[in-house]
Amino acid sequence: MPFDRLATARRNRSASLSHPHSADLDGQPAPGRRWRFWATAYALLILLTGTNLPTPLYRGYAARFGFSPLVITLIFAAYVAALIPSLLIAGPAADALGYRRVLLPAVVVAALGSLLFALATSTAWLFTARVLQGAALGAASGPLTAALTELEPTRNHRKAALVSTVTSVAGLGLGPVLAGALAQYAPAPHVLPFAAEIVLLVPAAAAVFALPTRRSATRWHPRRPEIPPAMRAVFATSGAACHLAFAVIGLFLALVPTYVATLSGSRNLLLGGAAVATMLLSSALAQLIGYARPARTLELTGLPLLATGLATLALAGALSSLPLLLAATVIAGTGQGLAFLGGLTSVSRATPADRRADVLSSFYVIIYLGVGLPVIGVGLLATATGLLTAVQYFACGVAVLCLLLLLVLIVARHRASASAPTPSDV
């Protein structure tokens, strides 16, 4: 019997070394697996927090360096322009080289981005800092989400998706609130938020360093993204839903703080950050409530709520109503959370294990295009029509797209039900 156990252990060790994942990731739950899971979630939270610290500070930068709202959207665009190539390169690299080798440099680059923001003396510094932040988050998003899926102690992909989505929106919300509070009530408003982020990145780096090592059977080389044929339909519909959901997040992050200031007449930096945080808190709560629901049901519920919230946002601007703006924030956040959780759950379940970081990175490309491109359009439109009118046009346009996608999903579900075999056919 001892000999049998020794032989079994050797076979298991050999299998773990030949598999592209380590035993800690794909074998039986190992000691420390649970804390590694939550430490990885912390790393994702802090990286996202850092990239959203500038949100309530842009008005101050504009006054300090003398630039227009269009420049704010261009700074945001520079971030997305760096983020997307980073996503496409880092996803396949992480699958081949291991998560740790990709994530550690990403944390260092994120710290450099925060440092440049803290030291900024001109608009060029802001562009450079945002490029570094985009590259860091692009390199980290797919691998960290994939690591959460693999490290979840009970192999529960639905729970891993929930933690990923809640952590993501929590980071998006925590950044504006943290920066707004420190900038409003503490000294050095354009330095202290980024100094705090650098300190918070130290435990994130330790969490990444503690990830299990992995070996790959293939060498990494740059290649264009490719989605496995069996999951392309799911990827397309879920990607479209999350693209629209994050177009709304992009609007709130880049322009809604200024929108709130215009409607309220208040210059309090925390107020604008709180509006963004309220939207994202609603998203997180909706995800927790909808956790046990089927993924497609979440999307079918989230899209009409998202459209309703956007229509209410446009109406709030037309009537200059802060109560309506608050209602729009909660409704849009709820819809965003349900659509995001449903989309990510669908894609995570359909993704082959050996392509997880690659496919999820491609999925985040669609998400971050939703964050970046529409906001640039709103910024361009705002130069001609004014901010309130531009936001109203954007909100109504995305609301219509949400309803069109909802119709596509309903038709697809109906066709799937009609083609499913009945008991008499079996």
Residue 50, pLDDT > 90, answer yes
**Helices and strands (H and E) in the chain: how many:** 16, 0
**Confidence grade of residue 278 (pLDDT, cut at 50, 70, 90):** confident
Residue 155 is classified by DSSP as: -
**Rounded (5°) CA angle 331-369-64:** 85
Residue 293 is classified by DSSP as: S
Q: Are the C-beta atoms of residues 130 and 76 closer than 8 Å to each other?
A: yes
Residue 156, pLDDT > 70, answer yes
- 202-216, 293-307, 412-426: range with highest mean pLDDT: 293-307
Nearest to 326 by CA among 276, 268, 383: 276
Residue 31, pLDDT > 70, answer no
Please enumerate in sequence order all residues whose Cβ is within 8 A of that of 419, keeping only pairs 6 or more positions apart, or say none: none
Tens-place pLDDT, residues 202-226: 999 999 998 877 655 456 555 566 7
Q: Is 376 exposed, middle or buried, given 0-12, 13-18 or 19+ CB atoms closer than 10 A? A: middle
Provide, rounded to the nearest whole percent, the portion of the chain with pLDDT above 90. 25
Q: Are the C-beta atoms of residues 335 and 304 closer than 8 Å to each other?
A: yes
Q: Is 411 exposed, middle or buried, given 0-12, 13-18 or 19+ CB atoms closer than 10 A? A: exposed
Question: What domains can be seen in the chain, in order of their start residue?
Answer: 31-212+225-419 (1.20.1250.20)
Rounded Cα gap, residues 132 and 84, in angstroms? 12
Residue 22, pLDDT > 60, answer no
Identity at 276, one-letter amino acid code? V
Residue 339 is classified by DSSP as: H
Residue 20, pLDDT > 60, answer no
Residue 21 is classified by DSSP as: S
Tens-place pLDDT, residues 333-367: 999 999 988 988 888 888 887 777 778 878 888 88
Least confident interval from 13-22, 96-105, 230-239, 281-290? 13-22
Rg over CA atoms, the chain? 22
Work out the average pLDDT over 239-256: 81
Other beta carbons within 10 angstroms of residue 407's beta carbon come to 11
Residue 160, pLDDT > 90, answer no
Please enumerate in sequence order all residues whose Cβ is within 8 A of that of 405, keeping only pairs 6 or more positions apart, or say none: 237, 240, 241, 244, 303
Provide, rounded to the nearest whole percent, the portion of the chain with pLDDT above 70. 83
Residue 6, pLDDT > 70, answer no
Q: Phi-psi category of 397—alpha, beta or left, where left has phi over 0 and alpha has psi -120 to 50?
A: alpha
